[in-house]
Amino acid sequence: MERWRYHQTVKSLPRSGRPSKITEAEARYIRTFVKRNPWIKWAVLLGLYPQACQTTIRKSLGKPFYRKYRFVMKIMLTDDNAAERLTHARSFVDAAR
């Protein structure tokens, strides 16, 4: 009722603030592009949408892809290294008791 009273329309009104540099469809395309190729370089992504800066593209990726990679590579441990680390960690736990 209030919208009709002040603007004589029932349609959504324009939002305040700066318009987005990339549309929702472009952001969705970037997310699928990064899902398929998580090790892609930032320069390639910036080349897709030159009107957007790196921060804009990073924010459009969302939190799961904030680093652009979906995972961080773990240290490859041999059995000997794993056993040595375990004994070292247990010595600290025993010392704390």
Q: What is the pLDDT of residues 3-39, one digit of tens each?
A: 888 888 888 888 888 888 899 999 999 888 888 888 8
Long-range contacts of 21-28, Cβ-Cβ distance < 8 Å, separation of 24 or more? 21/49, 21/51, 21/52, 21/53, 21/56, 22/49, 22/51, 22/52, 22/56, 22/57, 22/60, 26/60, 27/60, 27/61
For the chain, what is the mean pLDDT? 84
Assign 66 a pLDDT band (cuts: 50, 70, 90).
low
- Name the one residue in this structure whose structure tokens are 């904030």: 66
| % residues pLDDT > 70 (the chain) | 91
Q: Evaluate whether 49 touches 43 at the Cβ level (below 8 Å).
A: no
pTM given for the model: 0.54
Q: What is the pLDDT of residue 67?
A: 63
Average pLDDT over residues 74-89: 89
| C-beta atoms surrounding 60 within 10 Å | 23
Q: What is the pLDDT of residue 26?
A: 92
The domain limits of the chain are 20-96
